[in-house]
Structure 1
Amino acid sequence: MKRVFAAACAALFAGPVIAAPLCDDLGFAGLLASCNRGEPIELTLASGQALSEEGTYMLQSGAYYKLFITADGSAELALNGPDFFRAIWMNEIVINQIEIRPMAIDSLEFDAAGTAELSFVAIKPGSHVLRIPGSTGDAQKVTFNIQ
C-alpha cells in the first residue's frame, strides 16, 4: 500500500506531460499566446468546389489555430467531423460577431452565405477528417494531421 501511495505521489509531483508549444515563453495568455499560433486555415463551402486546395493540414499538438469556413450560399452545405472536434479544445466559434463557446460539436451547417471562425488548440495526435456529409470525393474532405 505504501509503495502504491509513494508511486502516486511521485507521478503527481513529477509534473504534467504536455506537448511542446511553438514558443518558449507563453506568458499570461498560456497556450493562447500570439507566439503559439499556427497559420490560419481557410476552407470554402461551395457547390461542386473543393473544400481546400491543400486537402491536408499538419497541426502541432498544443498549438493554437484559427479555422475560417466560408460558404458562398450556392447550396445548403455542412461540414461533419466528430473525430476532429474531439481531438481539439474549442476556444470559440464566431458567427456574425457572436461568440459561442461550446462544450462540443459534431458539425456545422450553412443555409446561406457567411463565414464561421473557429479558434482552437490542437490536442490529440492522429489523422482527423472534416467532410461534407454524404460525399465520397477527396475534394469534399479535409484531413488534419495532428503531431
Structure 2
Amino acid sequence: MKHMLTAAALALLAMPANAAPLCDDLGFAGLLAKCNRGDEIKVTLASGQPLGEGPITLQSGAYYEMEITADGSAELALTGPEFFRAIWMDEIVINEIEIRPMAIDSFEFDDAGTAEFSFIAIKPGRYHMLIPGTSGDSQRLEFIIQ
C-alpha cells in the first residue's frame, strides 16, 4: 500500500502543471465565455492536398471552433477517435443544422461542403486526426493539448 501511495504521489509530481482557462473571470457562461476562446482551426479536405499546418497546440479548459471544408474532389473522411475522446464536444453544425453529440469517431464528406464543430479541450496529450488509409504526414494533423 505504501508503495502505491508513493507511486501515485510521484506520478502527480511528474504531470505538467494544469493549464488555466484563457480568461481570469469566466462569469455566468463558464468555460463557454467569449474570453475563453482559442483561435479558430481550419482544416481542408482535398484530394492530394495537406489537411493543414500543425502541430496545433490547444490549452486544456479552453473553447475552440474547428471548420472542416471538403472541396468535393474525392470522397474523403477524417478520423481521430482518440482526439475526439480527449475533448468535450459542444456542437456540430452542418447546413445550419446543429447537432449536440455525445461522441463521434469521424467525419465523412461524399461531396463538397463544410462542417463546423466547437469543443473544449480536456485531456492533455498528443493526438491526431487523419484521412483513413493514408500514411503521409500531410494527410494527418497533430494536436497537442497542454
**TM-score w.r.t. structure 1 length?**
0.86
Aligned-partner SS, 1:35: helix
Other-structure match for 2:124? 125
Give the deviation of 1:142 after TM superposition: 0.2
Other-structure match for 1:27? 27
Other-structure match for 1:113? 112
- Counterpart residue identity of residue 74, structure 2: A
Please say which structure displays the higher CA radius of gyration.
Answer: 1
Q: Does the CA contact (< 8 Å) of 1:55 and 1:139 recur in 2? A: no
Task: Provide the rounded CA distance (Å) in 2 between the counterparts of 1:95 and 1:19.
Answer: 31
Q: Does the CA contact (< 8 Å) of 1:70 and 1:113 recur in 2? A: yes
Task: Provide the rounded CA distance (Å) in 1 between the counterparts of 2:28 and 2:116.
Answer: 24
Task: Tell me the alpha carbon deviations over residues 35-57 of structure 1, each in whole angstroms, 9 at most, x when there is no partner.
Answer: 000000000000010000x1210
Give the deviation of 1:59 after TM superposition: 0.2
Task: Provide the rounded CA distance (Å) in 2 between the counterparts of 1:138 and 1:88.
Answer: 23
Task: Provide the rounded CA distance (Å) in 2 between the counterparts of 1:36 and 1:58.
Answer: 15
Does residue 44 of structure 2 align to residue 44 of structure 1? yes
Aligned-partner SS, 1:105: coil
- Counterpart residue identity of residue 45, structure 1: L
Q: Does the CA contact (< 8 Å) of 1:59 and 1:146 recur in 2? A: yes
Which structure 2 segments of 5+ residues have no match?
A: 1-17
Which structure 1 segments of 5+ residues have no match?
A: 1-17
Q: Does the CA contact (< 8 Å) of 1:45 and 1:51 recur in 2? A: yes
Other-structure match for 1:139? 138
Aligned-partner SS, 2:69: strand
Task: Provide the rounded CA distance (Å) in 1 between the counterparts of 2:36 and 2:138.
Answer: 30
